[in-house]
Amino acid sequence: MPEIHPIFVFEVAQAIDLDLVERLLGGGSARQTFRHRGRATSFFQYRPAPLRISQERASLAIHRWSTEPQVDLVLYDFGAASVTYQLQVGGGLEELLQASVALSRTDLLRQDAHARVEALLKSVAGAVQQSRVAAFTEDYTLFGMRENPGSGTATAFCDAHAELIARILRPDAGGPSAEEIRNATEVRISFGASDVTIVDWDAAFVLDPDPDDVRAVLEFANVQLLEMRWLDLQLDGAIERSYQLLARPQGLRLLLPSTASADLHQVAELQLESAVMLERVSNALKVFGEEYLTRIYRLAAARFHLGEMDASITRKLHTIESIYQKLSDRAAGVRMEALEWVVIFLIAFEIVLSLIHG
């Protein structure tokens, strides 16, 4: 039976103490780990492992489908949270398409996810630093089937139904062209004959008898995407404020140590917070080797352009560093010039005193 897993990712805090959250909740939570297919290695794992919290609530109706009562929330130590729902869809790909269209036309799940995250943060407020639920989210939908309805391989099934799968992944595309179909379904990977994962920008199609780890990898890639988008937005604001500090007329302000130090401290704090956030997000998943889950992560990272976003963030950090250095050099230069004038004044004062006494 086809199933749908809508995922909503939020930026919620500066940092979260997951151990303390576990103690505060007392139950209903567990650290998320990966099981490995084929040859197991230790080169694909979280550090530290995020905390998955299961909640039982009333089902939500989406057209003629309803969500399962259990909803999973995942907290990450670097301040992100994801909320995952599940819908069971009877029939085949045609009904999966109808459900995809219905999901694209409602905001009900996003609003519910936002309310769940805010309620959870309030219940564990002592474990959360600088709690905030950012206005924007990263939404992703995982469409899946655990059994291959066809008689051939999973890849052959997807090739035979490429247009329908493309419409499921992109429900607003209408009647897609051949190029659109190819673009939506070309990024794919398989471990064996019975499974295939197709990764698109806003959704993925997973035909797999055991898809849990694949879904977890795609979920984490979306968490990284949201965090990088958030960090990029914060850096834009930081650069703008840094430029304002650099362009502000200084006059005698720089002669006051507290004023110059405050400007430098503000820029340095922006730079440090951004660098720490990038480091924590980038290193939250330990990825090495050519294990299957590693290949899926790299495929998703390429599809989401995480590498380009990382390079953009690094350039902006260097820009802030450059502004900090210019502010520091200017403050030092003005103070050195002021010190020279003080020395000249003292020398002149000594000469005047000697002439008067002479």
Q: How does pLDDT run across 241-261, given as a tens digit for each residue?
A: 777 766 766 555 555 545 555
Q: What is the pLDDT of residue 130?
A: 86
Sign of CA dihedral 260, 266, 270, 275: positive
Least trusted range by pLDDT, from 22-26, 42-46, 126-130, 134-138:
42-46
Confidence of residue 286 (pLDDT cuts 50, 70, 90): low
Half-sphere exposure for 107 (CA within 13 Å, toward CB): 4
| pLDDT higher than threshold 70 for residue 210 | yes
* CB-count burial class (<10 Å; 0-12, 13-18, 19+) for 68: middle
Neighbours of 202 (CB within 10 A): 15
Who's near 203: CB < 8 A, 6+ residues apart? 100, 140, 141, 142, 143, 168, 169, 170
CA distance 297 to 303: 10
* Residue 78, token pair as written in the block: 């670097």
- Which run of H or E residues covers position 8? strand 3-11
What percentage of residues in the chain have a pLDDT greater than 90? 43
* Ramachandran angles phi, psi of 154, nearest 5°: -65, -40
From CA 155, how far away is CA 74, in angstroms rounded? 31
Comparing 27-41, 79-93, 127-141, 325-339, which segment has the lowest mean pLDDT?
A: 27-41
- Is the Cβ–Cβ distance between 29 and 75 less than 8 Å? no
pLDDT at 37: 58
Least confident of 17-21, 27-31, 263-267: 263-267
Q: Tell the burial category of 130 from Cβ atoms under 10 Å away from its Cβ (0-12, 13-18, 19+).
A: exposed
CA dist 226 and 233 (Å) reads 11
Element (H, E) at 120: helix 108-123
Distance CA 137, CA 326 (A): 36
Closest alpha carbon to 267 in 326, 215, 346, 205: 326
CA-CA-CA-CA torsion for 37, 38, 44, 50, nearest 10 degrees?
20
Q: What are phi and psi of 244, to 5 degrees?
A: -65, -40
The residue assigned the tokens 């350039």 is 315
pLDDT of 279 higher than 90? no
**In the predicted model, is pLDDT for residue 272 greater than 80?**
no
Is residue 69 within 8 Å of residue 59, measured between CB atoms?
Answer: yes
Lowest mean pLDDT among 64-73, 219-228, 309-318: 309-318
More confident residue, 292 or 202: 202
Read off the tokens for 119.
Answer: 């309620």
Residue 161 near residue 185 (C-beta atoms within 8 A): no
Q: Is the preceding peptide bond at 69 cis, omega within 30 degrees of 0?
A: no
